[in-house]
Amino acid sequence: MHTYDNGSHYISEPSKKFLSGLSEPLSAFANLQEGLDGFNAFIGSLLSWVGAEEHVIVHRGDIAMDDVASDDAFQSGIDMVFSDFNHSPESIQALLGAFLPVMRATSSIFVDSASTHRLSYLALEKIVDHLNQGRLPSGLTEGRDELEVQRLEARVRRSSFRLMHLIETSDHAQNSTAWLRIEPIDIQAAGATFFH
């Protein structure tokens, strides 16, 4: 698993307030170091505490979706993308344009907070409608060369897209996640190996 973060929110005032309310052992992790070094120490301690340090690669820096999607580690296919850094319609289109070509035939893309952000909700509904009609919205192809557009078109032709809105019952800013399920167009259930 790979995670990308520049740590900027870790040093923000809302984050400091949140971290100050944590109980042990998390509060100890949050107080290891100050600033962005503290972010690295917190994430490292957290991963070690849950026993995941050998399974997670942390990339600290700004997120450039095209660079991430073209990383050699992902060229055999990506099972799941979870994006929680920006859920604007433009960012969603850039995310899909970058990652759709490298997603596995059966895979998922999650966009945090998008389902309860009006413009993002409407954009996702329209994008998925276009994709399921075999059409590629121009926002997904923006800045892409002809080969990249062809890869996107091929993925869209061979796939079915299902959008589900996961909504929490509590009223707060980040209370939803949009789940885009990608499956091959097939008459059998995706991933099924046994039928009776």
Between the ranges 12-16, 73-77, 123-127, 166-170, where is the mean pLDDT highest?
123-127
Q: Which value, in Å, is the radius of gyration of the alpha carbons in the chain?
A: 19
Between the ranges 2-16, 56-70, 87-101, 173-187, where is the mean pLDDT highest?
87-101
Reported as a pLDDT band with limits 50, 70 and 90, residue 59 is confident
Reported as a pLDDT band with limits 50, 70 and 90, residue 45 is confident
Residue 32: is its pLDDT beyond 70?
no
Mean pLDDT for the chain? 88
pTM, two decimals, is 0.82
Q: Rounded CA gap, 104 and 184, in Å?
A: 9
- Quick one: average pLDDT of 88-101? 94
The predicted pLDDT at position 3 comes to: 83
Say which residue, 155 or 22, is predicted with more confidence: 155
Residue 162: is its pLDDT beyond 90?
yes
Residue 90: is its pLDDT beyond 80?
yes
The predicted pLDDT at position 66 comes to: 82
Nearest 5 degrees, angle CA 154-CA 97-CA 143?
105
pLDDT digits (tens, 9 = 90+) for 101-158: 999 999 999 999 889 889 999 999 999 999 999 999 999 999 999 999 999 999 999 9
- In order, the DSSP letters of 54-108 are TT-EEEES---HHHHHT-GGGTT-EEEEEE-S--SHHHHHHHHHHHGGGEEEEEE
